[in-house]
């Protein structure tokens, strides 16, 4: 055996998981074969065995499935996958029904398939470390926990109790596991695990799982229980509302949970295997595994970071502007232990910005998720001020003022001299080219874009923009700073709108263009939602402010004029301009845009009734599939253009940035994975059809086609 060490001494059979050449243990094909061999050896040695210990030679217990192997699967492999899963579960059942006590020694995290391995043990002992994580995150990868995870968690926690841990992929630390009864014993360190395991084996010469005991009853009742049945009657509809039918995994998981709860344990395992075998070869699973595992890990491991020696650990960072963005960044920094100077034009405005952190932390204190002491310490890290002198000694200063080039230049020149020696300066602009803003800097090589998304406390993505003169050290330090905040950095090169704002603009302006074509607003919004976007394009435009879009348009026209060129606005941009300049509809913050926003608390927004009157066209026709494709293809084409132009340099930055930054549907795996998942030729053919019907936004030039093929995953 290559991945499992089997030892039998003093009546104790120890299976130590130790996959060679890997930092973690996975359910690779070799491990599956080794588990069958180890199980057969246990059966041979049965009479000499008093108990079985499951242990790991890695710093974690077990990481789960071999996702590289999963990515190679084809639809024709489903039957073989079913047989493999069934064999793994047959081995699990052999070990746990032997009549001998089995103990899982959890020295570290056990995630996905790793938690399913942990559940083999009748007794589970874990190290009491809050950094250790257990759980079943398969749904986030387009899969289900199909190696007995669904069947066992439902029988341990009940149908309702298991839902957050299966359908929502909720992870949990050892202490919560103990409270739930999923772990039975906690120890301060891994050194005592084996002794505790042996003691339990000695005290329990025979053991079985609760569901194998006579008279077992499922916690909370089976689907036959009227209370459970009542909740299950609405569960599929609630789930469909969330998934919009685009994510098969949650629906398959719910089906496996309910169907499995109505039959015996071994039949429930087979039901689970069937659902997993079908899902694991599906395109949605491949898309989600590609992005949420491989692409995300590429970023976390620093593949987008320039290879500059040393890590930047921010201690004191200044912020210019205490509005929503500045206040949000201040909270993000202070919550990570970073001293923050929050400057605005007046002390009152700066104090108001600091109060935002109080607003965010108070509910946590009220619900005992944060102590008053920790809240006070966080707030003490934020120094509100109207004086630039208080910025002295900051290692990084970020301006987050209004999108006006002159204003940004003024605050840059005022604050930059206050930087500590070796410090660097950043702009939180969402659209203005960094190279232009850097002209106001005395050291443009130490000037970088750090683009946060609103609301900062909820949005995980941060876009780092390298200007024409920004050096590697500054980009690397910006990358380290973002990671220090616990956020996800992507790195892009400078251009108008960078990557995320530029692609986001194509989504909302395509929606606005549809309105101008006479397509009813409710249909446009529904197309966005059915495609998998979080909300429709018109609603998003209202949230980000129509007036801001017009401001950006005006700035773009002015910049083009300065370069001796003329900017040709798109139909969507011209419609938004009319909304603002003719009808004074500026967006939600101004009281109304495409929607009306009632003043009464709890009242729902409604589409502005005059939209139909102003833009409706009697006899206008549309195909819903065309509308959905327009919204997704337009963004994917623009992303590919960014790749071709060198704004984007990696596929993983594109995929992760499009999902976490602008809400591109997760089922696609991101804007470039949408192309690769569709198939390059099929995507290009459909884009050509859309271009012939709806204009140049869908045209894929030869250079862009070449970039798509050149960066295609191998």
Long-range contact set of residues 368-373: C-beta below 8 Å, sequence gap at least 24: none
The percentage of the chain sitting over the pLDDT mark of 90, rounded to a whole number, equals: 90
The percentage of the chain sitting over the pLDDT mark of 70, rounded to a whole number, equals: 100
- 3-state helix/strand/coil string of 265-306: HHHHHHHHHHHHHHHHCCHHHHHHHHHHHHHHHHHHCCCCCC
pLDDT digits (tens, 9 = 90+) for 552-582: 899 889 889 999 999 999 999 999 999 999 9
Residue 522 pLDDT level (bands cut at 50, 70, 90)? very high
pLDDT digits (tens, 9 = 90+) for 200-225: 999 999 999 999 999 999 999 989 88
What is the structure's pLDDT at 13? 98
User: Angle at CA 136, nearest 5°, toward 134 and 137?
Assistant: 110
Query: Cα(523)–Cα(531) distance, rounded to whole angstroms?
Result: 12
What is the structure's pLDDT at 405? 86
What is the structure's pLDDT at 19? 96
What number of other Cβ atoms are within 10 A of residue 407's Cβ? 14
Of 472, 473, 474, the closest CA to residue 449 belongs to 474
What is the structure's pLDDT at 164? 95
Query: Cα(516)–Cα(661) distance, rounded to whole angstroms?
Result: 27
What is the structure's pLDDT at 124? 98
What is the structure's pLDDT at 266? 96
What is the structure's pLDDT at 237? 84
Q: What stretches of 510-651 adopt beta strand conformation (E)?
A: 595-596, 606-607
User: Angle at CA 103, nearest 5°, toward 102 and 108?
Assistant: 145
Query: Cα(704)–Cα(63) distance, rounded to whole angstroms?
Result: 38
The residues near 94 (Cβ < 8 Å, ≥ 6 apart) are 39, 42, 43
The residues near 188 (Cβ < 8 Å, ≥ 6 apart) are 127, 128
Residue 592, phi then psi, degrees to nearest 5: 175, 145
Determine contact, residues 455/467, Cβ cutoff 8 Å. no
Which DSSP symbol is given to 295?
I
| Ranges of H-type helices in 381-536 | 405-415, 434-437, 472-484, 500-516, 521-531
pLDDT digits (tens, 9 = 90+) for 345-387: 999 999 999 999 999 999 999 999 999 999 999 999 999 999 9
Two structure tokens written together for 119? 């559940």
Q: What domains does the chain contain, in order, with CATH numbers?
A: 4-286 (3.90.226.10), 316-497 (3.40.50.720), 501-646+679-710 (1.10.1040.50)
Length of the chain: 714
What number of other Cβ atoms are within 10 A of residue 622's Cβ? 16
Decide: residue 52, CB within 10 A, 0-12 exposed, 13-18 middle, 19+ buried: buried
Residue with tokens 């494709």: 629
Which DSSP symbol is given to 605?
P
Provide the CB-side half-sphere exposure for 131 (13 A, CA).
Answer: 6
Of 311, 330, 329, the closest CA to residue 478 belongs to 311
162-172 mean pLDDT: 96
The DSSP string of 141-205 is GT---TTTHHHHHHHHHHHHHHHHHHTS---B-HHHHHHHTS--EEESSGGGHHHHHHHHHHH-S
Start-to-end CA span in the chain (Å): 31
296, pLDDT greater than 90: yes
Instruction: Tell whether omega for the bond before 455 is within 30 degrees of 0, i.e. cis.
Output: yes
Query: Cα(651)–Cα(711) distance, rounded to whole angstroms?
Result: 7
What is the structure's pLDDT at 602? 82
Determine contact, residues 547/538, Cβ cutoff 8 Å. no
Across the chain, which distance is largest between two alpha carbons, in Å? 89
Query: Cα(603)–Cα(660) distance, rounded to whole angstroms?
Result: 29
Which residue would you say has higher pLDDT here, 55 or 403? 55
Two structure tokens written together for 127? 């190290």
How far are the Cα atoms of 312, 337, 508, 561, 565 from residue 568, in angstroms, in the given order?
A: 43, 47, 17, 11, 10
pLDDT digits (tens, 9 = 90+) for 623-681: 999 999 999 999 999 999 999 999 999 999 999 999 999 999 999 999 999 999 999 99
3-state class of 490 per DSSP?
Answer: strand
Query: Cα(330)–Cα(318) distance, rounded to whole angstroms?
Result: 9
pLDDT digits (tens, 9 = 90+) for 414-441: 999 999 999 999 999 888 899 999 999 9
pLDDT digits (tens, 9 = 90+) for 21-70: 999 999 999 999 999 999 999 999 999 999 999 999 999 999 988 898 89
What is the structure's pLDDT at 404? 84
111, pLDDT greater than 90: yes
Residue 187, phi then psi, degrees to nearest 5: -130, 150
Q: What stretches of 185-245 adopt beta strand conformation (E)?
A: 185-187
232, pLDDT greater than 90: no
How far are the Cα atoms of 18, 515, 616, 688 from residue 692, in angstroms, in the given order?
A: 57, 19, 23, 6
The residues near 195 (Cβ < 8 Å, ≥ 6 apart) are none
Query: Cα(528)–Cα(538) distance, rounded to whole angstroms?
Result: 9
Pairing between strand 12-17 and 51-56?
A: parallel
What is the structure's pLDDT at 576? 97
Determine contact, residues 647/498, Cβ cutoff 8 Å. yes
The residues near 495 (Cβ < 8 Å, ≥ 6 apart) are 433, 502, 642, 645, 647
How far are the Cα atoms of 19, 54, 149 from residue 102, in angstroms, in the given order?
A: 21, 7, 17
What is the structure's pLDDT at 494? 94
The residues near 668 (Cβ < 8 Å, ≥ 6 apart) are 287, 532, 632, 674, 677
396-405 mean pLDDT: 92
Following CA atoms 635, 639, 645, 646 in sequence, which dihedral angle do they give, to the nearest 10 degrees?
150
pLDDT digits (tens, 9 = 90+) for 67-109: 988 999 999 999 999 999 999 999 999 999 999 999 999 999 9
Residue 245 pLDDT level (bands cut at 50, 70, 90)? confident
| Cross-strand bridge partners of residue 64 | 26
| Cross-strand bridge partners of residue 398 | 319, 426
Residue 236 pLDDT level (bands cut at 50, 70, 90)? confident
Two structure tokens written together for 16? 């130590």
């Amino acid at each position: 055996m290559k991945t499992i060490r089997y030892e039998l001494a003093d009546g104790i059979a120890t299976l130590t998981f130790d996959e060679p050449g890997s930092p973690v243990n996975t359910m690779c094909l070799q491990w599956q074969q080794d588990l069958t061999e180890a199980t057969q050896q246990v059966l041979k040695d049965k009479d000499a065995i008093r108990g079985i210990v499951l242990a790991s030679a890695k710093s974690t217990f077990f990481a789960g499935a071999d996702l590289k192997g999963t990515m190679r699967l084809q639809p024709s492999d489903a039957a073989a996958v079913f047989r493999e899963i069934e064999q793994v579960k047959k081995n699990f059942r052999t070990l746990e029904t032997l009549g001998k006590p089995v103990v899982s020694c959890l020295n570290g995290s056990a995630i996905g398939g790793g938690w399913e391995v942990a559940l083999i043990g009748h007794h589970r002992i874990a190290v009491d470390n809050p950094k250790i994580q257990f759980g079943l995150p398969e749904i986030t990868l387009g899969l289900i926990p199909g190696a007995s995870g669904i069947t066992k968690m439902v029988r341990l926690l009940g149908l309702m109790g298991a839902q957050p841990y299966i359908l929502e992929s909720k992870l949990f630390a050892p202490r919560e596991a103990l409270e739930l009864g999923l772990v039975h014993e906690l120890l301060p360190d891994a050194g005592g695990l084996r002794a505790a395991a042996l003691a339990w084996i000695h005290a329990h010469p025979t053991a079985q799982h609760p569901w194998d005991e006579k008279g077992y009853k499922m916690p909370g009742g089976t689907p036959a229980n009227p209370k459970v049945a009542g909740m299950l009657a609405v569960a599929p509809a609630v789930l469909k509302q969330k998934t919009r039918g685009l994510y098969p995994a949650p629906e398959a998981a719910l089906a496996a949970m309910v169907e499995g709860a109505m039959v015996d344990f071994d039949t429930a395992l087979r039901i689970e295997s069937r659902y997993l075998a079908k899902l694991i070869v599906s395109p949605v699973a491949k898309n989600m595994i590609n992005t949420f595992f491989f692409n995300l890990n590429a970023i976390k491991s620093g593949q987008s970071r320039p290879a500059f020696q040393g890590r930047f650990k921010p201690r004191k960072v200044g912020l210019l502007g205490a509005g929503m963005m500045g206040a949000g960044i201040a909270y993000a920094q202070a919550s990570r232990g970073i001293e923050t100077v929050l400057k605005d034009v007046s002390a009152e405005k700066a104090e108001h910005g600091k109060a935002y952190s109080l607003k965010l932390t108070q509910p946590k204190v009220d619900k005992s998720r944060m102590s008053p002491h920790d809240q006070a310490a966080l707030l003490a890290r934020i120094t509100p001020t109207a004086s630039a002198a208080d910025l002295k000694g900051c290692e990084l200063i970020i301006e987050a003022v209004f999108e006006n080039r002159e204003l940004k230049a003024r605050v840059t020149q005022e604050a930059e001299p206050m930087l500590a020696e070796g410090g660097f300066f950043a702009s939180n602009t969402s659209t203005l080219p960094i190279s232009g803003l850097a002209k106001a800097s005395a050291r443009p090589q130490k000037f970088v874009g750090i683009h946060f998304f609103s609301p900062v406390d909820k949005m995980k993505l941060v876009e780092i923009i390298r200007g024409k003169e920004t050096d590697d050290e500054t980009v690397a330090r910006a990358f380290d700073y973002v990671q220090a905040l616990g956020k996800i950095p992507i790195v892009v090169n400078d251009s108008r709108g960078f990557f995320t704002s530029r692609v986001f603009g194509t989504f909302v302006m395509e929606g606005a263009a549809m309105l101008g074509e006479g397509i009813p607003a409710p249909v446009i919004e529904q197309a966005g939602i059915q495609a998998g976007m979080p909300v429709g394009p018109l609603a998003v435009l209202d949230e980000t402010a129509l007036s801001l879009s017009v401001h950006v348009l005006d700035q773009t026209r002015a910049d083009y004029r300065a370069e001796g060129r003329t900017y040709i606005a798109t139909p969507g941009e011209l419609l938004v301009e009319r909304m603002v300049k003719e009808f004074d509809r500026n967006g939600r913050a101004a009281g109304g845009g495409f929607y009306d926003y009632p003043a009464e608390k709890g009242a729902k927004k409604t589409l502005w009734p005059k939209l139909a009157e102003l833009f409706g066209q009697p006899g206008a026709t549309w195909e819903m599939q065309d509308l959905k494709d327009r919204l997704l293809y337009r963004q994917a084409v623009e992303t590919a253009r960014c790749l071709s132009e060198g704004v984007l340099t990696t596929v993983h930055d594109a995929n992760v940035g499009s999902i976490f930054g602008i809400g591109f549907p997760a089922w696609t795996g991101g804007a470039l994975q949408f192309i690769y998942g569709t198939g390059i030729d099929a995507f290009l053919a459909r884009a050509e059809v859309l271009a012939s019907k709806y204009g140049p936004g869908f045209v894929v030039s030869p250079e862009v086609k070449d970039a798509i093929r050149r960066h295609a995953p191998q």
